[in-house]
Amino acid sequence: MSLRLTVSNISRNYNGKPVLKDCSFAFDSGCIYLLLGPNGSGKSTFLRICALLEDTDSGEVNFVEDNTPLDSPLVRDTTPLNPPLVRDTTPPSPPLLRGGVRGGILKKDIHLKRRISLVLPKIGIFNTTVFKNVAYGLKIRGFKKKEVEEKADRVLESVGLIHKKDFNALTLSSGETQRLGIARAMVIEPEILFLDEPTASLDPHSTTIIEETINKLRKHNRLTIIMVTHNIFQAKRLADRVLFMYDGKILDHGPNRDFFEKPKDERTYRFITGQMVY
């Protein structure tokens, strides 16, 4: 079982200024999605709304159970990929989806919220040890002490922070803090993991460690990762599918290679070739 996320016609205004304009998308489970776009394009707002941290002004965010086997064929391939440059602004077509049995829309209660997790760009570190930071999500779910220790240690090991488990988390470097943020989310084994620019302001070494961690998660059965970045190269390295946001809209999307090799919108082309001025 896993979760499938669908957003339908969501819009959001901040102080009367539209930040998201009628965005719709259906995320397939078990994929890594990278949300690309220039600053101020609405990526983070979109992510926060998808992660149920913010409400929409209109439209819907829905989660449904997905019982489809991962190896089932992809259906509804309606994404037109040619010609590569199309000078129109019509909304993109629905993405590839796996067919199969799906349950009804899930209620947005604490049970659903506990099946997803969001790593914010600024990690809200609790003023306690690294271990207790990681254990937090497990403790609030009522896990037993032994289980908490085992799971937290395993995750700390995988992000390379086990040697710092008894350190005060506020003493960690930026890269370590970011890894701790991911570890804290990983330990609760979410079915959808939202990452908001986890490598922004990190050096190349720390970025590599974070990307390796994300790649390890890729092997996790059924985990969907939706990550915001404005780093094109990172999107190329990590994404199964890429979405391009511009001016509060999802302008373009597609599988990794198609997205970068055959962009459907001129603005996408300008962005990925570094020609966009904004």
Question: Cα-flanking dihedrals φ and ψ of residue 194, to 5°?
Answer: -100, 130
C-beta of residue 88 within 8 angstroms of C-beta of residue 234: no
Applying CB under 8 A, which of residues 157, 170, 215, 216 lies at the interface with other proteins? 170
Residue type, 177: T
C-beta of residue 76 within 8 angstroms of C-beta of residue 98: no
Residue 11 near other proteins by CB under 8 A: no
195: exposed, middle or buried (C-beta count within 10 Å: 0-12, 13-18, 19+)?
buried
Q: How far apart are CA 131 and CA 92, in angstroms?
A: 44
Residue 165 near other proteins by CB under 8 A: no
Residue 180 near other proteins by CB under 8 A: no
Question: Per-residue x/- marks for other proteins, 109-148, CB under 8 A?
Answer: -x--xx--xxxx-xxxxxx--------xx--xx-------
Tokens of residue 98, six digits: 């796996």
Parallel, antiparallel or unpaired: strands 2-14 and 17-27: antiparallel
Nearer to other proteins among residue 23 and residue 118 (C-beta): 118
Q: How far apart are CA 110 and CA 113, in angstroms?
A: 5
Residues 40-59 that bind other proteins (CB under 8 A): 51, 53
| Cβ 182 to other proteins shortest distance, Å | 12
Question: Per-residue x/- marks for other proteins, 230-249, CB under 8 A?
Answer: --------------------
Of 262, 201, 187, the residue nearest 231 (C-alpha): 201
Residues 6+ apart with CB under 8 A from 105: 62, 63, 64
Nearer to other proteins among residue 47 and residue 235 (C-beta): 47
Nearer to other proteins among residue 88 and residue 109 (C-beta): 109
H or E segment and range at residue 98: strand 97-98
Nearer to other proteins among residue 61 and residue 119 (C-beta): 119
Nearer to other proteins among residue 32 and residue 51 (C-beta): 51
Residues 6+ apart with CB under 8 A from 131: 152, 153, 156, 165, 166
| Cβ 76 to other proteins shortest distance, Å | 31
Q: How far apart are CA 189 and CA 117, in angstroms?
A: 9
Residue 185 near other proteins by CB under 8 A: yes
Nearer to other proteins among residue 31 and residue 183 (C-beta): 183
Applying CB under 8 A, which of residues 67, 72, 89, 171 lies at the interface with other proteins? 171
Nearer to other proteins among residue 5 and residue 242 (C-beta): 5
Give the footprint of other proteins on this chain (CB under 8 A).
51, 53, 110, 113-114, 117-120, 122-127, 136-137, 140-141, 167-168, 170-171, 184-185, 188
